[in-house]
Chain A
């Protein structure tokens, strides 16, 4: 058990709680609906069309989170512009940050 600022964290208690809740959930699930037909109800329904093969519908990495990236498009455009991959720009960022800290420290020091 470790103490945090607001309370405590004990993984053992968490695991016990997890197991208890899991068993409860499993029991509720086991009650279930009697008219469930195995095998038939898990098939996808695509407006009566044939289901494409699993190989054809596997989503590739760059299409995952497409919506998220599309929503933040302007942010990502700026970010891509920032990460130019040119060594001179890396050094410029470094020197620039150093200069910003200089300005911040010495102006705050004067005030």
Chain B
């Protein structure tokens, strides 16, 4: 049960983020919602690679109590960490772009209310 806790958190984070994107009308809150969904997905990836009692997968920096024979079993998986790092970097770029757009929209429309930002419709 305790090991399912991260997955429950993932579901909660994605649900909260989705709620913010669908029901909140403030553009900044929508941007926050996207970030929360992204954190959920990143947490999911990290959790996939976790092993009970595992250490960081760096061969040259192993703790002394691990013998070389135990290496693959005692390390957490490195691939999900690489994926998460990439995903975080992409997320920062997306968030920066969204916020830049929000600033420009505020300059042009004078509001951040999604209900009023609808010159393009039908």
Contacts known (A86-B114, A86-B115); A91 close to B122, Cβ less than 8 A:
no
Q: How far is the CA of A85 from the CA of B117 in the complex (A)?
A: 8
Q: Does A84 contact B (CB under 8 A)?
A: yes
- What does the 1/0 interface line of B97-122 toward A look like (CB < 8 Å)? 00000000000000000110111111
In the complex, which residues of chain B have a beta carbon less than 8 angstroms from the beta carbon of A91? 18, 21-22
In chain A between 76 and 103, which residues have their CB closer than 8 angstroms to a CB of chain B? 79-80, 83-88, 91-92, 95
Can you name the residue of chain A whose Cβ is closest to the Cβ of B120?
A85
- Report which of A83, A84, A88, A95 forms a contact with B30, defined as CB distance below 8 A: A88
Q: How many residues of A contact B (CB 8 A)?
A: 11
Closest Cβ of chain B: how far from A88's Cβ, in Å?
5
In the complex, which residues of chain A have a beta carbon less than 8 angstroms from the beta carbon of B122? 79-80, 83, 85
In the complex, which residues of chain B have a beta carbon less than 8 angstroms from the beta carbon of A87? 27, 30, 114, 117
- What does the 1/0 interface line of B14-49 toward A look like (CB < 8 Å)? 000010011111010010000000000000000000
| Tier of interface size on chain B | 10 to 19
On whether the beta carbons of A85 and B121 are closer than 8 Å, the reply is yes
In the complex, which residues of chain B have a beta carbon less than 8 angstroms from the beta carbon of A80? 122
On whether the beta carbons of B118 and A86 are closer than 8 Å, the reply is yes
**B18, B22, B121: residue with the most chain A Cβ atoms closer than 10 Å:** B22
Closest Cβ of chain B: how far from A87's Cβ, in Å?
5
Closest Cβ of chain A: how far from B34's Cβ, in Å?
10
In chain A between 58 and 92, which residues have their CB closer than 8 angstroms to a CB of chain B? 79-80, 83-88, 91-92
On whether the beta carbons of A85 and B22 are closer than 8 Å, the reply is no
Q: How far is the CA of A83 from the CA of B118 in the complex (A)?
A: 10
Q: How far is the CA of A79 from the CA of B122 in the complex (A)?
A: 8
On whether the beta carbons of B118 and A88 are closer than 8 Å, the reply is no
Q: Which 5 A-B pairs have the closest CB atoms?
A: A85-B121, A85-B118, A83-B122, A92-B22, A91-B21
Can you list 10 contacts pairing A with B, beta carbon distance less than 8 Å? A79-B122, A83-B121, A85-B120, A86-B117, A87-B27, A87-B30, A88-B25, A91-B18, A91-B21, A95-B22
